[in-house]
Structure 1
Amino acid sequence: MIVRILLGLIASSLVVLPTACHRIDPSPAHADPTSLLETDRSFCQRSLAAGMKVAFVEYADTGVIKMDDGQLASRGIDSLRTRWAAPRPDGPSPLYWEPQHAEVSSSGDMGYTFGYWRYPAQTEDGRDTIYYGNYVSIWKRQSDNTWKYVLDTRTNTPRPEDWH
């Protein structure tokens, strides 16, 4: 009986020990956030060059969720297209943003960026102003190795101290 128990323990440890000793690389090359940061910056440049309506649809995944202050979430690319087809209440002023940080999952298929945004506009009485805020975008790597955002949300804030 004792021999059976010992053999069972030895057999169990032979199964468990190799998996317990297997080292998982916490930062494989495909988890490098460089390409994601570049994508977010390119997204901003595309928005400045072609307009927000064009860029926010081009960089969106088909299952996108878009959330902004004071609005219900848009769910899916068709809902996003409808949302951006409507006239913007405060005109064509460009939205500018800059990612401050990005991380990519160890599998390399998902990531996020966050940073600051600013939006020049006019108040109801015609004065120029600039709105500021934070944003978070969650990105999904596509089959062609590009990134598309699956969730984007922004909040209004005071001007960040380290913003240029």
Structure 2
Amino acid sequence: MRWSFLCLMACVPLLAQQLQLDPLAKPAPSSNMSAALTDPTLSPGVAFLYQLEARFAQETARGGGKAFASWFADDGVTLANGKAPVRGRAAIAAQATWDPKDYQLTWTPQGGQLSPSGDMGYTWGHYEGRAKDHNGNPVTTSGRYLTIWKRQPDGSWKVALESSSDEPPSAGDCCKLP
């Protein structure tokens, strides 16, 4: 009995520390992340990162580019396919000006890892952007993304680097000659 009590007392600070690190104790996952968030095979660290992704995606869906940019660290970087790097949250915000009524960006994590020290991690997965062209026709872009997360000195988590690239060619399309 005493051993159980001592084990419980030793675990309480660790649990309290984890709860302080997790600002998303009760996330409301977006529909495209529900399956990922409920996957019982995820490690606690990856589940935590997926919760960050869910909140990031939800706020971006509601607030568009402004909300997207708010998730970046002051020195965060974006790397987009075929574009120059964008460095710093202010520069990212200056370029991320889309309104969610005009452009919807969604993404789903497919993998990730939290560092052993618990202060950095990454997620990767599939994204999709939906808009309409000048004639009102639907336009969809899709591809892969990588997000590197970093815990800030105040305990919050911010995006240190986000990278995206176009969807890879369909199987068999890679080797066709023109």
TM-score relative to the length of structure 1? 0.68
Displaced runs of 4 or more, over 6 A: none
Matched position secondary structure for 1:145: coil
Q: 1:115 to 1:106 in 2, by over 3 A?
A: same
2:58 aligned partner: 45
Residue 70, structure 1, aligned to residue 67, structure 2: no
Matched position secondary structure for 2:153: coil
1:156 aligned partner: 166
Within 5 A, what are the aligned runs for 1:76-115? 76-85=88-97, 92-115=102-125
**Aligned AA (1:54):** K
Instruction: Give structure 1 stretches of 5+ with no counterpart.
Output: 1-28
Please give the alpha-carbon distance, in whole angstroms, between the structure 2 residues aligned to 1:81 and 1:56: 8
Aligned residues: 128
Asked if structure 2 preserves the Cα contact closer than 8 Å seen for 1:139 and 1:150, the reply is yes
Asked if structure 2 preserves the Cα contact closer than 8 Å seen for 1:120 and 1:130, the reply is yes
Q: In percent, how many aligned pairs have the same letter? A: 28
Match of 2:129 among 105, 109, 119: 119
Please give the alpha-carbon distance, in whole angstroms, between the structure 2 residues aligned to 1:119 and 1:158: 15
**Aligned AA (2:148):** I
- Cα distance, 1:70 vs structure 2: 2.7
**1:54-76: CA deviation from partner (whole Å, max 9, x where unpaired):** 22221101110111123211111
Residue 139, structure 1, aligned to residue 152, structure 2: no
Asked if structure 2 preserves the Cα contact closer than 8 Å seen for 1:96 and 1:118, the reply is yes
Please give the alpha-carbon distance, in whole angstroms, between the structure 2 residues aligned to 1:157 and 1:100: 14
**1:18-45: CA deviation from partner (whole Å, max 9, x where unpaired):** xxxxxxxxxxx89722221101111011
Please give the alpha-carbon distance, in whole angstroms, between the structure 1 residues aligned to 2:170 and 2:119: 31
Larger Rg: 1
Instruction: Give structure 2 stretches of 5+ with no counterpart.
Output: 1-17, 22-43, 172-178
Matched position secondary structure for 2:90: helix
Asked if structure 1 preserves the Cα contact closer than 8 Å seen for 2:59 and 2:68, the reply is no
Asked if structure 2 preserves the Cα contact closer than 8 Å seen for 1:133 and 1:159, the reply is no
Matched position secondary structure for 2:159: strand
**Aligned AA (1:40):** E
Residue 33, structure 1, aligned to residue 46, structure 2: yes
Please give the alpha-carbon distance, in whole angstroms, between the structure 2 residues aligned to 1:159 and 1:147: 34
CA RMSD of aligned residues (A): 2.6
- Cα distance, 1:108 vs structure 2: 0.6
Please give the alpha-carbon distance, in whole angstroms, between the structure 2 residues aligned to 1:159 and 1:44: 25
Larger RCO of the pair (alpha carbons < 8 Å, separation 6+): 1
**1:108-138: CA deviation from partner (whole Å, max 9, x where unpaired):** 1110000101111235665323221100000
Matched position secondary structure for 1:154: strand
